[in-house]
Amino acid sequence: KYNVGIINLHLPVDFTEGIRRGSLLGTQHEEGNDHFVTARILYPTDEEPEDLPYLEPESAPLLCAELMKCGAPGPLKSLGWMLHTWRLTHIRAKRNAQPSTQQESFPLAVYSHGLTGIAAIYSYQSLNLAASGTVVLMVDHTDQSAVATRRRDSTHLLYDHKPVTDVYMKGKEVQYVRRRRAQTQHRVEECLSALSCLKSLNRRNIPDLASAGVSFIGKLETTDVTLMGHSFGGCTVLS
């Protein structure tokens, strides 16, 4: 029904409640990154799409290398080039496009990625949602369940293997569950904080959007929100 616009940005958020409730937010965030969520927004637009890289070129080599470390059998873990085809794949969308004027406002969805995932891996699902008339906010989580999250200062927060190697594989099941629950709570706070910021964009713009010439003021149906996720992201949105 619509062409799709796409923008990568860092949403300014308020983590106060999450820190108060004891999530990982109080310890995992570093100076310069501690009040932002790394996000990708896909949305309906009237502008013509172009071929965009499935993975952002500046992060793609690292993502491929780290994904092999996370998921491949032992002898293959160092062979990041085996995922090189992902770097050749493109999606049809328009970067920094203006939201569509075909209808007054659009419903919202927040998408939480799975363990060892990142937002970009779910671009196909989100493209379909946006093409059907939904503004989709995709969060790159910073509980170290993502393969690599690019933060505001351009550094990457990498996947933490320790819950598996140092806890689960050593039979410490209770500690493992507690660790995953702490990560879940962290993810919940990020999704809720990012959603709150997204809804506020219906009233006022933020510098990251303004500098790209994009505004969602008056375009968001803030009472129509769906939370979605895959795997660990499903656990996140249910929580």
State pLDDT tens for residues 170-198: 999 999 999 999 999 999 999 999 999 99
Average pLDDT over residues 108-129: 95
| Other beta carbons within 10 Å of 79 | 14
116: left (phi over 0), alpha (psi -120 to 50) or beta: left
pLDDT band at 14; cut points 50, 70, 90: confident
Return the sign of the alpha-carbon dihedral for residues 27, 31, 35, 39: negative
Q: Quick check: 25 pLDDT over 70?
A: no
Q: What is the 3-state secondary structure (H, E, C) of 121-149?
A: HHHHHHHHHHHCCCEEEEEECCCCCCCEE
Q: Quick one: tokens of 70?
A: 């996370």
pLDDT (tens digit per residue) in 53-75: 999 999 999 999 999 999 899 99
User: Is it the case that residue 27 has pLDDT exceeding 50?
Assistant: no
Q: What average pLDDT does the chain have? A: 91
Mean pLDDT of 23-51: 78
How far apart CA 165 and CA 176 sit, in angstroms, is 10
Tell me, what's the pLDDT at 32?
55
Q: Are strands 135-140 and 36-45 parallel, antiparallel or unpaired?
A: antiparallel
Q: Over 90: is that where the pLDDT of 16 sits?
A: no
The SS3 call for residue 235 is helix
Q: What is the pLDDT of residues 123-152, one digit of tens each?
A: 999 999 999 999 999 999 999 999 999 998
